[in-house]
A and B are shown apart, each in its own frame.
Chain A
Amino acid sequence: MSGLLNVKVGAVDLKSPLILASGTCNFGHELSEYYDLSILGGLSSKGLTIKPRVGNEGVRVAETAAGMLNSVGLQNPGVDYFIEHDLDYMRGLGCACIVNVAGHSYDDYMAMAQKLDPYKDKIDALEVNLSCPNVKAGCMNIGTDPEQIKSIVSSMKEITSLPLWIKLTPNVTDIKATALAAQEGGGDAVVLINTLLGMAVDIKSRRPILHNNTGGYSGPAVKPVAIRMVSECYRILDIPIIGCGGISTYEDVLEFMIAGAAAVEIGTASLIHPGCPVDITADLEKWCEDSGESLSSLTGTLKLW
């Protein structure tokens, strides 16, 4: 069945539309104990920063209906440690190696591009995290402002020739404005969406369950929001879209692709069923066989009323 699942995200060829979403697969070591990650289109690393981060204190997770809130706070070993210890491992997984980069400021993003550009033979794309809601500076604070998005993306393009996938936040009034800014800055693709900012309250203590007060909402509950944003952006963008948000079945993948996604990311579903991409892959192959269609031909076939 090889071939039917092939998709392209700009110049990047993927053998499957399934990419593991940043922050839900670490650097691949743990999930490799459950299945051969070479079945995937790619894996996006845990969000990396110039310096190591210990992340947020206290309770970091709250269960919700059909989803969860997290406030990990970009805990990561730092980009130097990643280059030394994890990059070669990720490269060797047999799927596209996507490195997720985050920062507190414009300068941080430039420093990350400089750090990683020398390793472009091992990296397929940088996923620029302008959307993490769990840190006090940078990320979502930058990613809600089209001017800053455009400025950061265009400056990173001058530093590195690596494809830049811009991961955007849904916590904006108009996703089209931020997506267009990513395109105008020279972004090679947009990833829609990161988590929705949310809160859960402990009714006994009358305090937020998360010690960060707020967290990022993910899981099947956010899927309709993500699909809507993919659809809105597909109609105005020239660059490809990677859909992300609540995907846990092959039907979810098809839905995202029909709405306009060239590829998709699986996130929270891995936390519930670590082996779910194996089942989704088999189901997608069967769907292609039965329908006689290739997945890549599905992108953007949505017919609006």
Chain B
Amino acid sequence: MKKEYSCKIEQVQHIHEDTVYITIGCQQIADNAVPGQFVNMSCSYFLKRPFGIASVNKDKGTFDIGVKIVGKGTADIASFSAGQTVNVLGPLGNGFDLSSSDKFILVAGGTGVFPINFAHEILAQRGVRHVVVEGFRNKEQITMCSPEYVLTTDDGSAGIHGNCCTGLDTLIESEIEGATVLCVGPLPMMKAVGAWATGNGLKCYVSMEQRMACGIGICLVCVCKVKAEEQGQEFNHVRCCKDGPVFPYEEVVW
């Protein structure tokens, strides 16, 4: 049976003015989470808040999340400190299928760097070939970036001047050919990356986001549109939390 865990916050790192990186103790989540999955976590407000899992440490029985302050709930969570207890549901949703290919291109924008980091860690452990492309607005926003990644900034203040697609265009043929693209970021970015992948004949998976309540598929508020021509209709609403958050790019109605 799945359950709601009462977990201790092990560490809170303030990595930016508006972003914290939190390590939370929960052996079950550490053991079972796969990249692309998320947790729904309590705060001082009524509803839980969903966060993509950024990393796990099975030995220590911990998992990490990155929290960017976008509202009162995330501001509240960013003020949490080590030792505090939170209620957590997870791991939730369908993650990325990392067995589906022997070569990946990971693309992250904004807070997408956190789930993409988890995918990178697992692929690195397994020795699966992959490149990481990260896009930020400016150098102040750069988070979880490694020197071997392709880095882009919108204003050119660091890395390549441009967006993720500009970064993708710098990849060499051997990195692109036959790769599967995994992308997490803002909608316009995922749409552009999906189009780039399709243009290069590559399969692309994106992680959809919508205002969420339960996180487990019972309330039907966090829907996104997927194509439903086979059912004789233009689109269907599916639950980001339970049917996703990962969807094939070509199935999403953008």
Binding site for B on A (CB under 8 A): 23-26, 30-31, 33-35, 46, 54-55, 59-68, 70, 72, 75, 219, 270-275
Q: Could you list 5 examples of A-B contacts with CB < 8 Å?
A: A26-B218, A60-B223, A70-B221, A72-B221, A271-B213
Closest partner residue, chain B, to A273 (CB atom) = B4
- The chain B residue sitting closest to A26, CB to CB, is B218
**Which of the four size classes fits the interface of chain B?**
20 to 34
A-B CB contacts (within 8 Å), total count: 87
Known: A30-B218, A70-B221. A35 touches B211 (CB 8 A): no
Contact B218 A31 (CB under 8 A): yes
Residue of B nearest to A25 (CB): B218
Q: Does B233 contact A (CB under 8 A)?
A: yes
Give the Cβ gap from A216 to chain B, nearest Cβ, in Å. Answer: 11
Q: Which of A31, A35, A54 is close to B237, meaning CB atoms less than 8 Å apart?
A: A54
Describe A's contact surface by its main secondary structure: loop
Task: Tell whether, in the assembled complex, residue B218 and residue A271 are in contact, meaning their CB atoms are under 8 Å apart.
Answer: yes
Assess the B214–A274 pair: CB atoms within 8 A.
yes
Q: From residue A105, how far is it (CB to closest CB) to chain B in Å? A: 22
B residues with CB within 8 A of A: 1-4, 45-48, 73, 87, 89, 210-214, 216-223, 233, 235-237, 242
In the assembly, what is the distance between CA of A63 and CA of B44, in Å?
12
Minimal Cβ-Cβ distance residue in A for B72:
A63
Asked if residues B47 and A63 are in contact (CB atoms below 8 Å), the reply is: yes
- Whether A274 pairs with B216 at a CB distance below 8 angstroms is yes
Contact A23 B219 (CB under 8 A): yes
Give bound CA distance, A88 to B201, whole Å: 44
* In the complex, chain A residues whose CB is within 8 Å of the CB of B220: 23, 26, 46, 55, 60, 72, 75
| B89 and A63 form a contact (CB under 8 A) | no
Tell me whether B46 and A68 are in contact (CB under 8 A).
Answer: yes
Q: Are B47 and A72 in contact (CB under 8 A)?
A: no
Q: Which residues of A have CB within 8 Å of B237?
A: 54-55, 75
